[in-house]
Structure 1
């Protein structure tokens, strides 16, 4: 673990891992227009922004939750696109 020279506290790597996962899922959300209508892409992008804000809120207080959030961003995208394709008959 690294030590913050300004405060002397340990720096956890978990928020960085969570942020990397979350940012890497952005490309799926941004490319969803190939699979979903514009309104669904807008909703997906809003949920991604909400997850990004939550990641920064949890940065110091709950660093390991950011990793779960990053993983959930992939799961949520898959569930939303699959459910929309099946239930709402989205076609490309």
Structure 2
């Protein structure tokens, strides 16, 4: 696992992304394949050493990513926030 993260961190595109994030520039979507998202997130967390919010589309997907992130970044603190319960008269698209 550490070897893979080091390989990601050595990529020029990753270094450019990291420099851009450190400078505070706005980032468009990265369009990463699903398999690459958590390893890149773990590498960014290790290099930036700051909280990162990961937003998903479904609660079960969030739980799966929560568990898998423990593999890629065992020392990272992980918190899972559940989706809000809509009230029956609320017009939100939950």
- TM-score where L is the length of structure 2: 0.26
The answer to which structure has the higher strand fraction is 1
- TM-score where L is the length of structure 1: 0.27
The answer to which structure has the higher helix fraction is 1
Higher relative contact order (CA 8 A, sep 6+): 1
